[in-house]
Every structure is written in structure tokens, then in C-alpha cells.
Amino acid sequence: MQQALQLHQAGRRQEAEAIYRQVLARQPKHAAAAHFLGLLLHQTGRSEEGMDFLEQSVQLQPTNPDFLNNLGTVMRDLGRVRAAIDFFRGAVDLRPEQLAARDNLGSSLKQIGRFEEAEDIYRGTVQRNPFHVRARIGLAETLQEAGRLDEALAVFQEALTIRPKDADLLHGLGVGLMEKGKLGEATDLFRQAVAIQPGMARAWLMLTQVKRQKERDAELAGMEAQHAKAPQDSLARMQLSFGLGKANDDLKDY
């Protein structure tokens, strides 16, 4: 098993798989071999086969929180979010301090719209570990998706007092401020995020979105001014109507 794990970690998956299977041929109830073989199969695109081994490992060791969390992760990757939640919750019940399982449980609950439960999980995680940024981001995003934008912004702002140079927090706060229409402040935050993490594609995308929104606002302002000067001008009315309609469509797309 030690050799198989070393090969697995080194990316030599074919060799690792062969050894895992050898171990299981000799000891069919070897929970660790079944579990890591299941993970390897998932990593190599054979997730359904991998699920069988992961479920086998959980049957052999039903109180192993790592096994439960990993099985839940694979289930969620396969789109079985509700089933995954049961395993994440089981892992958290067995080991409440396990951050990975708590994050997975919170994000899965958020994914299916169970915002109050997700909020409880994230707040519990933050209480246990105030410096765990992912939980604060998850909490803020949960509040945001639940329509509680001001509360979400407060969570991001509080988190930034702890981690002022965290690109994910800067990006999250920027998205919230953009939703509030505060494009200038959002732009500053997105720029800070990409300065810290130049490869952050979603922050670059948001900068592009802000630029387009500002250009649309300026264009519409010009149309409105033109219409105010010549309210009977049919061309001005048509341009303004088109501009407002296009802006509305763009906002729906966004």
C-alpha cells in the first residue's frame, strides 16, 4: 500500500492502480486499497467504476470521515448533490472540525438553494476558525444568493480586515458592489485582485464587464441628452428606445 500511495502521489497512476488491485485480490476487504483505487479511477475519468470501490470502502469503514467526505465529493462531481450532502453531513458529524467536509457541505446546500442550512454551516466554521477564508466567502455568497446583499457585503468587508490581500475576497466584494451599481469601487477591487493574482481570469472578466457597463451608461446618457434637446426628433426617440432595450437585454444576460 505504501508503494501504491507513493506512485499515486507521483502521478504514476497506472502502476498504482495495478498494486491497489493486487492488494484487493489478496485482501478483498482492505478498505484503504478500495478507497484509493476508487479515487484513482475517478481521477482518470472512470468515475462510475470508482464509485463502486468508494462505496465499498465506506461500507467497510462507515465511521471514517475522510472516506465519507471523498465519496460525497465524487457523488457531487457526478451531479448527485443531494446524496452527496448526506455523506458530507456524516463526515462533519464524525469530525466537526474537518474544514474540507464543512466547506463541501455548505457549498452543496447552497447549490440546491438550502440557504439557511448553508448559512448555519458556514457560520459554525467561521466561529471555529475565524481565519478560514473559504468559509467566509461561502457565507457571503450564500447571503448574496439569498437576496441579502448588504449582509453579504458586510461579511466580505469584515473578512478583508483579517486578510486584506486575499484576491478571492477582493473579487467577491467587487462583485457585490457591482451588483449595487458601485462600479468605481468594484473596479478598484478587481484591479487589486489581479495585481495580487495576475492569472485570476474571473477578475479580469469582471473588469471587462464594468468597462462595458460604463460605456453603456455613457452612451445612454448621451442619447437621453439628445432626446431632451429635441423631444420630437423621431430618430433620437428611436435611438433611445433601442439603447434602453439593449441595456435591459445586456443586464438580463449578465
Length of the chain: 254
195-225 tens-digit pLDDT = 999 999 999 999 998 888 777 666 555 555 5
C-alpha–C-alpha distance, residues 94 and 92, integer Å: 5
* pTM across the whole model: 0.80
Q: Which domain holds residue 156?
A: 113-172
User: In sequence order, what are the residues at sequence separation of 6 or more whose Cβ sits closer than 8 angstroms to the Cβ of residue 155?
Assistant: 136, 139, 140, 143
User: In sequence order, what are the residues at sequence separation of 6 or more whose Cβ sits closer than 8 angstroms to the Cβ of residue 16?
Assistant: 4, 5, 7, 8, 36, 40
C-alpha–C-alpha distance, residues 95 and 89, integer Å: 10
CB 128 within 8 A of CB 98: no
Pair 119, 163 in one domain: yes
User: Is residue 205 in a domain?
Assistant: yes
Residue 152: which CATH number?
A: 1.25.40.10
112-139 tens-digit pLDDT = 999 999 999 999 999 999 999 999 999 9
Question: Across residues 34-42, what is the average pLDDT?
Answer: 97
User: Is residue 210 in a domain?
Assistant: yes
User: Is residue 207 in a domain?
Assistant: yes
C-alpha–C-alpha distance, residues 83 and 86, integer Å: 6
Number of domains the chain is built from: 2
